Amino acid sequence: MAAENKPNPNNTNNAGKGRKRRYLPHGKPVKKGLYPLRPGVEGFFLTCDGGRERQAANEALNLLDTFYDELVHGNNSTAKSTNSPNKPLNKIIKFKDSDSSSDEDEAPVKEELEVENHADKGVLETKQQEDSCIPQISEPDTGKHSEESENLQVKKQRVEKGPSQCEHGESKADDKHIDDLIKDELKELKDRNKRHFVNLDSGCNGVVCIQMHKRAGDPGPADIVQRMMSSAASTRKHMSRFILRVLPAEVTCYASEDEITRAIKPLVDQHFPNEAPNPHKFAVLFEARANTGIDRMKIINAVAKSVPQPHKVDLSSPDKTIIVQVVKTICLVGVVERYKELSKYNLRQLTSPKQGKELEGTAHG
């Protein structure tokens, strides 16, 4: 009896109940999606509160679309659409069953209206006299006149009923056309390569990366971010709940000294030309996330040495700032202007009331 009450050591269920469960640590890595951050991508680098990456990405896509449209189309496009008067357009309605042209159809209708309006003035009498001068064709003329009057009445009815029917026909055609446009737009939205802005998985908490498919003639990421920050500084209007900083990522490469110096050459030639009439003062800002093996000073010195000689380093009041962001094994580089004046491109600080008072004080000073 005692042997029956003893627990069986081979029973795994009883063994599992006695052990304590082990929980995962708090800082578990973010799962990589289907479209991770990779070298050769041009776009934007954003920071947000931890755990709010999805909400920040949705807000970023909406903001980038609005400021992209402002740069491409301008503010005048919306003003023209609102200021345009809502006047009806004079359209000529053509019927398929009519053999004559539109001018020939309109002429008898106008003649009959004139006859009705000027009946008191003797216009009908003159016409009857003219008809009486030719007695041979008087009888067939009356028949023709009656037929013409009947045709005119039929045409009047068609004209009165025609616009509504034509409007319904045009609306059906427009509806079909709009449906086709919606289908095409949905296809473009499903195809990631045709979108202007696409969310990428950075693999790091608090970091959002947006890829931009730049087309010919489109503004670059630096232009869009500059427009966004200048608009936020002037209006101080709250734009987002979850986004903190928005920075352009004009160059992306692997996080190594050789790769960075080789990848930023076209970017340096664009912003810091050799033969510049007014040399720029610049500074280099370096930040690394989830990467402790890279040397900070080596990267800063390598980026500073890649800038040609007429331009000088000035950490106190630089004209342009070269921002180097390292996320795991990927490095993102962008050049911005007025970095310190625009609250380090932090939307939350830039649109806060305290920051607005500080900007007004610096402007008056």
> Is pLDDT of 226 > 50?
yes
Residues 349, 224 share a domain: yes
Residues 61, 112 share a domain: no
Question: For position 248, which CATH number holds?
Answer: 3.30.2130.30
Residues 241, 338 share a domain: yes
Residue 193: what pLDDT? 57
Residues 203, 161 share a domain: no
| Rounded mean pLDDT, 90-107 | 49
| Rounded mean pLDDT, 158-168 | 49
Q: Has residue 28 been placed in a domain? A: no
324-354: pLDDT as tens digits? 999 999 999 999 999 999 999 999 999 887 6
Q: Has residue 273 been placed in a domain? A: yes
Specify the higher pLDDT residue, 212 or 195: 212
Residues 264, 138 share a domain: no
Specify the higher pLDDT residue, 189 or 344: 344
| Rounded mean pLDDT, 26-42 | 70
Residue 170: what pLDDT? 45
Residues 163, 290 share a domain: no
Specify the higher pLDDT residue, 177 or 81: 177
| Rounded mean pLDDT, 276-294 | 92
Q: Has residue 143 been placed in a domain? A: yes
Q: Has residue 233 been placed in a domain? A: yes
Whole-structure pTM value: 0.60
Residues 201, 133 share a domain: no
Q: Has residue 276 been placed in a domain? A: yes
Specify the higher pLDDT residue, 330 or 90: 330
Residues 205, 60 share a domain: yes
Q: Has residue 259 been placed in a domain? A: yes
Lowest mean pLDDT among 181-195, 200-214, 237-251: 181-195
| Rounded mean pLDDT, 266-280 | 90
Residue ranges making up the domain that contains 120: 104-168
Which of 127, 151, 168 is at the close of a domain?
168
Residues 156, 211 share a domain: no
Specify the higher pLDDT residue, 276 or 66: 66
**How does residue 275 score in pLDDT terms, banded at 50, 70 and 90?**
confident
Helix H, strand E, coil C: the string for the chain is CHHHHCCCCCCHHHHHHHCCCCCCCCCCCCCCCCCECCCCCCEEEEEECCCCHHHHHHHHHHHHHHHHHHHHHCCHHHHHHHHCCCCCCCCCCCCCCCCCCHHHHHHHHHHHHHHHHCHHHCHHHHHHHHHHCCCCCHHHHHHHHHHHHHHHHHHHHHHHHHHHHHHHHHHHHHHHHHHHHHHHHHHHHHCHHHCCEEEEECCCCCEEEEEECCCCCCCCHHHHHHHHHHHHHHHCCCCCCCEEEEEEECEEEECCHHHHHHHCHHHHHHHCCCCCCCCCEEEEEEEEECCCCCCHHHHHHHHHHHCCCCCEECCCCCCEEEEEEEECCEEEEEEEECCCCCHHHEHHHHCCHHHHHHHHHHHHC
Residues 341, 257 share a domain: yes
How many folded domains does the chain comprise? 2
Q: Residue 194 has what DSSP assignment? A: G
| Rounded mean pLDDT, 95-108 | 48
Report how far residue 39's alpha carbon sits from residue 47's, in angstroms, rounded to the nearest whole number: 19
Q: Has residue 201 been placed in a domain? A: yes
Mean of per-residue pLDDT scores for the chain: 74
Residues 336, 252 share a domain: yes
Q: Has residue 21 been placed in a domain? A: no
| Rounded mean pLDDT, 270-288 | 92
Which of 152, 168, 184 is at the close of a domain?
168
